[in-house]
Structure formats: C-alpha cells, structure tokens
Amino acid sequence: MKLIFVTGGVISGLGKGITASSIGRLLESRGLRVSAIKIDPYLNVDAGTMNPFEHGEVYVLDDGGEVDLDLGNYERFMDIVLTKDHNITTGKIYRSVIEKERRGDYLGKTVQIVPHITDEIKARITAAARDSGADAAIVEVGGTVGDIESMPFLEAARQLARDIGREDSLFIHTTLVPVMGPVGEQKTKPTQHSVKELMSLGIRPDIVVGRCQEPMSEDIRRKISMFCDVPPEAVVSAPNAASIYEVPRILDAQGVTDRIIGQMKLGPLTSGSDMTCWNAFVDRVINPEREIRVALVGKYTALADSYISHLEAFVHAGAERGCRVRVAFIDSDEFMVHPAGELLEGADGVLIPGGFGTRGVGGMIEAARYSRENGIPFLGVCLGFQIATLEIARHLAGLDADSTEFDPGCADPVVFLMDEQKGIGGKGASMRLGAIPVSIARDSAAYRLYGREEVEERHRHRYEVNPDYIGRLEGSGWRFVGRSDSDRRMEIGELRGHPYFVASQFHPEFRSRPGRPSPLHLGLVEAAMAYRYGEGPGTGAFPRDGRAQ
Ligand code: GLN
C-alpha cells in the first residue's frame, strides 16, 4: 500500500483539494491506478446535515454517501467512483470507538486518543486504500496544521508512514507564499512557520507546494528549500491559473510526477504520459470561441461553493461546445421585489438548483414562470424540478398547488412525501440517496441528450411528484419523460412547445466529468447558445403543438 498525504498550512482555501486531485490525475496519466481519501476533522458524522453556507455543497456519491465537496474534485479530475468510506470524519471515528467501548471490545482498557482514536483512523485509511485496489491512495488531511481538530489525524498519518515505511509514504505540504509591499516581494515566512509546525509533529514534508499569485522566483524556492529542509526541486509553485483544470500540467512541468514516482518507486509504468485528452479539454476551457450567460436562481447564492458541481458541469458542457458559460448568481428572494424581466435581462438560460425549506420558493416559481413564458432555456434540478412542476400546476393546470414541504395542509399537494418517507424522524442519511436507474422515453429531448433509454443518476431528496396529479400535469404539456421505480416516481419533466424547459428530480451535475458532461446541462448550454446566437441544436427536439403556451 502506498500513501501520499497532502497537508495544508497557513490558511484554508489554498486549493489543497485541487492539488491532491491534480496529483491523482498526473499519476493516472502514467498508467497508475489511484484512489483518494478525504479527512474532515469535524464532529459531524457526514456532510449531509451541514448547511451549504457553512461548508459549500454536499456532494453525493453513487453509494448514497453525502460527502465533502472535495470528493467531487477527486471524481472529476481522476474519473473514479468513490464510496462513502473515502470521507473520514472525526464524527465517524468517535462514533465507532465509542460503540466499541460500549460493546466491551476494549476489554477494560482506558480508551484514549492515542492509541484508540489513532488506530481507528489508521484502520479506516488502510481499509479504504486497500478496498479501492489502487496502486496508490492520496490522503488529504482537511484543516490547517496546528488546528486542535486535526492533531489525531496527523499523528495517525505519522504512525502510518512509519508502519509502511518511507518508500511507501510521501508527504506533500501546501502553503501560502503571499506578496507584500510596494515592490511585490514574495514572502517565505508563513511557509517556514507552517513547515516547522509540521516537523514538530514528527512529519517532514517531501514536497512543498506554495500557493502564489505568480510562479515563485528561483530565490524564493531556494530560501524555502533551505529553511524547510527539502531539495529546491521539491519546492513547487502553484500560481493563479486560468482554470483549475490547468493545475495538473502546471505541476507536471515542475517535475512533480517524476519526483513522486521516483521516490515511491511506483511502477512498472506504461510508456510515457497520457495527458493528451486532458490537455485538449483544458485548451477548450481556456480558449472558448463564444460565451453565454446562465442565471442561477437559488437560496445559497452568497457562497459559490454551494453550487460547485453545477459550475463544473457548465465548464464541462461549455468545453464540449466551444463556449464559456458565465454563471450569474441571483438570490431567489430578489424575484419577490424586482421584476423577473429586469433580473433575467441578458440571461440566455436559467438554472434552479436543489435546496431545502420554504425560504426563497416564491421567487424561484416566479423565475420559472418568466422563463417558461418567454422561451428562455430552463433547467431545474431536484428542488428546481419540484418548482417547475408547481409552477406549471398553478399556472397551466389551474391547481392550488404546493409541496407539503412548504405547506403541509395545501389544497393540491402536487409534491408530497411518499409512504416510505413518512415517519422518518432523524435528518442524517435519511433521504432517497445515491445512484438509481431511470428510464427515459424515446421521443424526448432527454433521450436525444443521453442517447439511452436506461440511465443512472444520483439522488438526494425526500419529496416526490404526487402520482394523483400526473394526468392533469401531462395534459398541460408537462411530460414526465423520465421515471423510476416501475414508473412510480417522476424523474424528468419536459414542457411541450418550449425550446428547452427541462427538469430532473435527480442531480445530473454529480456525474458530470471533463469530456463527459452532464447531458441535461449540455442541453441547457446548447439551447442557450441557440437562444443567444440563433442557431445550433437544442431547438426542435420538442413537438411544437402550442399546447403549453
Ligand atoms: N427539498 C426537496 C426534497 O427534499 C429537494 C431536495 C433537493 O433539492 N436536494 O425533496
């Protein structure tokens, strides 16, 4: 088992996850099989109960794991499928140690942070790495070196490295190299301090990655090398990049891949490096021919990380069609005080993403109404699907419609809880979660985009379209062209007579990858390009019988 630990110093938000993902991508490009594990030193058992404002998006895995958004970066960069065991939290560790203590597994011993907590951490890292069957696993330790929370994890990492030996373990430390003063001098002191802190825990970094605005000067590299006791070639610049997807080649050009492979004796390898497809994708991302604008109307718009998988899905879809997708965040409450026409001026498409609770729903319905009535390409995802359904139920089917999530006593519960979800009390991991097969009708835009009748997509929701209303909704032009669970559950809606008014109960953004964009996001991008430039596919997939408008 070979483990590459990635730690962070100085401040959070240095792009440690992107560094870890990029290194994974680079090792894969040399023919290695790589997996990735994220450690989150918080007491939540998983990210599922966390507000997106706190921590960004809750990413969902095939197995239904509700995990840190960095696992999304690993899956996107490395094109792998991870399981919930690849996100280790303090909550999971303590829970299982306490359960073992209650069962009497520790045979009367005093249960302590070292060795019991650290042993549990080591066992989980080892199991996740082994079960993945990969040649090497990257272990990203969340938080910043010096935090109280991450101490047991760093201690476990130190012990693990010692257990498996120097050749099979490697430490990469990411730090900040800020620029100060009128001459714009790069400063090494924060890096020196944070490496010293790491060394005081018994960990000597093999590679130091300095996050900086411009590449580090030779001088600065030598200085860091000297103070931090790493060779100058192992001091690597991570300067600002035009796209996160450019980071692998920036690191590769500084010899990072060769260094890791050499030091860890990873091999035998396939000949050469295969970054051709990746680099072609990056070039398309960086040099788009065109640009479209999509308005993202949601309730967590104050933090872009809340919708990171959607933003990445638009990068993937845009690259496929040679266009940059500029996403403008609009707080849905704005639609209650300003006219939709004003707010959506210049938008070539509208996305309503997932969400929970009543706040902001009125504004989302208004944004959906305006998009529908004005032929603006529209994609609704999860809550966005329920919003589109309610909008059509109210304004086309004439129902007094609501979701029981927002109004439990409403006259027409068009969106409601199915029996399985009734009576569930706890909030943790209690939704309909993970990859579930969906059947798609052939005569639909969704079929054109997916190219298949059977697809699998990831879910995270409690509420569903109420089957009692399907006849009336379809009669109003809202066709349920995607269904699951023997047609009991509605998964994709498409509006007749509109260039692109599509919504899904599942989250297509979680399976979007470079070179394999989410089909429904691609559909929105194509329709938005047609809307802006008046050409291309995206129109014509729907029978225009005029019933909808
Ligand atoms: N709140 C809705 C539900 O629970 C939508 C969830 C979501 O958008 N992820 O069904």
pLDDT at 535: 61
**Ligand 1 pocket list (CB less than 6 A):** 354-356, 382-383, 405, 460-463
Q: Alpha carbon of 508 to those of 18, 159, 372, 387, 485: distances in Å? A: 22, 40, 21, 17, 18
- 54 C-alpha vs ligand 1 centroid, how far in Å? 18
Q: Whose CA is nearest to atom 5 of ligand 1?
A: 383
Query: Cα(354) to centroid of ligand 1, in Å?
Result: 6
Euclidean distance between CA atoms 219 and 246, whole angstroms: 25
Residue-averaged pLDDT of the chain = 92
Looking at the chain, the whole-number percentage of residues with pLDDT higher than 90 is 83
Task: Determine the average pLDDT of the residues in 124-149.
Answer: 94
Question: Which one, of 197, 111, 112, 191, lies nearest residue 154 by Cα?
Answer: 197
Which tens digit of pLDDT belongs to each residue from 506-535? Answer: 999 999 999 999 999 999 999 999 999 986
CA separation for the pair 527, 500 (Å, rounded) = 6
Give the pLDDT score at 177.
93
Establish whether the linkage from the previous residue to 178 is cis, with ω within 30° of 0. no
Q: Which domains does the chain have, with CATH numbers?
A: 3-39+113-278 (3.40.50.300), 288-533 (3.40.50.880)
Q: What's the pLDDT at 427? A: 67
**Closest residue CA from atom 8 of ligand 1:** 354
Q: How far is the CA of 268 from the centre of ligand 1 (A)?
A: 47
Q: Say which range, 295-304, 425-434, 532-541, has the weakest mean pLDDT.
A: 532-541
Catalytic annotation on 323?
Answer: no
Active-site residue (options: 310, 316, 459, 507): 507
> Residue 38: which residues within 8 A CB-CB, separation 6 or more?
17, 67, 68, 70, 71, 74, 86, 87, 88, 140, 142
Q: Which of 273-277, 390-394, 452-456, 470-474 has the lowest mean pLDDT?
A: 273-277
Q: Tens digit of pLDDT for each residue in 65-113?
A: 999 999 999 999 999 999 999 999 999 999 999 999 999 999 999 999 9
Please name the residue whose Cα sits nearest to atom 7 of ligand 1. Answer: 354
Question: Ligand 1 center to residue 393 CA distance, Å?
Answer: 18
Residue range 403-432: mean pLDDT, rounded: 85
Nearest to 194 by CA among 223, 225, 173: 173
Say what the pLDDT of residue 536 is.
Answer: 52
Q: Does the active-site annotation cover 228?
A: no
- Ligand 1 atom closest to 357 (CA): 1
Instruction: Reply yes or no on whether 509 is catalytic.
Output: yes
Nearest protein CA to atom 6 of ligand 1, as residue: 461
Q: How far is the CA of 355 from the centre of ligand 1 (A)?
A: 6
At 208-237, the pLDDT tens digits run 999 999 999 999 999 999 999 999 999 999
